[in-house]
Amino acid sequence: DAGVIQSPRHEVTEMGQEVTLRCKPISGHNSLFWYRQTMMRGLELLIYFNNNVPIDDSGMPEDRFSAKMPNASFSTLKIQPSEPRDSAVYFCASSFQAHSTDTQYFGPGTRLTVL
Amino acid sequence: DAKTTQPNSMESNEEEPVHLPCNHSTISGTDYIHWYRQLPSQGPEYVIHGLTSNVNNRMASLAIAEDRKSSTLILHRATLRDAAVYYCILRDASGAGSYQLTFGKGTKLSVIP
């Protein structure tokens, strides 16, 4: 099993540009999560999908952030326009279900730098 | 949300056991205790979880106090690869938020060769 796949691994962009982060969850998993990690705030949940439907997006910082899951094997997190304060490591995770005993498997992350 | 308290950092010598403590005095009866760890420059990975009884798996053991207000993650023989930030997390089995993994600051474990 390849695990959760994220691309790109590193992204450097200029303020105002659009950024798209991609995630392929583990096959057969029905739940997908996007997290952001910064030194100041640690790991935070941005959005959670179940069966491709967004269930909880209360962690999405503002309207500049959007996430989609068009099918069970692909999700995107888009930032438009990007700002320097969006610089962080963004993790995608998936789990079979979203029960309290289900393990979440994390991808390697995308390190985003906005100049 | 029930919160956890962990020491900021700990050190261990290689090949010795490590006991990582976690206090969760406001834990509810339906909260599972989960441990994840994050190795440098990697995403978090699952270590172990439990509800009331002690648990063992190939990675570690989880010892849960009888009143469930604290728990200890035990690495039986620390290796250099175990150097990571360890997170103790409570997950509520009862409500709609059971999917939540709320990460605190964790304990940074250093392993000395």
Contact (CB, 8 A) for A37 and A93: no
Cβ of B43 within 8 Å of Cβ of A108? The answer is yes
Q: What CA–CA distance (Å, rounded) separates A23 from A110?
A: 10
Question: Pseudo-torsion of CA B50, B56, B59, B64, nearest 10°?
Answer: 50
Residue B9: per-residue pLDDT: 98
Residue B1: per-residue pLDDT: 53
Instruction: State the nearest Cα–Cα gap between A2 and chain B, in angstroms.
Output: 14
Contact (CB, 8 A) for A14 and A23: no
Task: Please give chain A's pLDDT, 115 residues, in tens.
Answer: 689 999 999 999 999 999 999 999 999 999 999 999 999 999 999 999 999 999 999 999 889 999 999 999 999 999 999 999 999 999 999 999 888 888 999 999 999 999 9
Cβ of A103 within 8 Å of Cβ of B102? The answer is no
Cα A11–chain centre separation: 14
Cβ of A4 within 8 Å of Cβ of B105? The answer is no
Range with the poorest average pLDDT among A89-93, B46-50, B98-102, B106-110: B98-102
Cα A25–chain centre separation: 11
